[in-house]
């Protein structure tokens, strides 16, 4: 029996969330998320180390946790299909609704990373 893996070794993450402007109607914000992954090159999986990136900017309407985000984002992801090397770049136009206390409409951890537990 031969176990095949993609050879991920180390992962380093950085997240930045900045509130640019605060007004009575809401806030303008910037959010960035970067992920650096080292990879052990293996036969059948010819790939090297890579960096994934997500940059997002928008407005958060409403006070506190019950809010609405309207945002533009750019995302660069590697290894979209796990068994074949490749990358995907995409632009996103989004709307995020926050209606639960403690979560809000703010960006959580990256989609590929589990967020805080539900209460």
pLDDT of residue 59: 95
Position 107 scores a pLDDT of 53
**The pTM of the whole model exceeds 0.85:** no
Dihedral of alpha carbons 42, 50, 15, 117, sign = negative
67-99 pLDDT, tens digit per residue, is 899 999 999 998 766 666 678 899 999 998 887
Which sequence spans correspond to the domains of the chain?
8-98
pLDDT of residue 98: 82
The stretches in the chain having pLDDT less than 50 are: 1-3, 109-119
The SS3 of residue 4 is coil
């Amino acid at each position: 029996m031969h176990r095949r893996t993609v050879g991920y070794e180390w992962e380093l993450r950085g997240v930045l969330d900045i509130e640019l402007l605060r007004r009575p109607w809401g806030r303008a914000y910037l959010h960035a998320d970067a992920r650096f992954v080292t990879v052990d090159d293996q036969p059948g999986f010819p790939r090297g180390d890579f960096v994934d990136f997500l940059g997002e900017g928008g407005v958060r309407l409403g006070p506190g946790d019950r809010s609405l985000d309207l945002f533009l984002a750019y995302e660069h992801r590697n290894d979209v299909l796990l068994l074949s090397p490749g990358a995907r770049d995409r632009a996103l136009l989004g709307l995020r609704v926050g209606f639960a206390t403690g979560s809000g409409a703010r960006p959580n951890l990256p989609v590929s990373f589990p967020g805080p537990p539900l209460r």
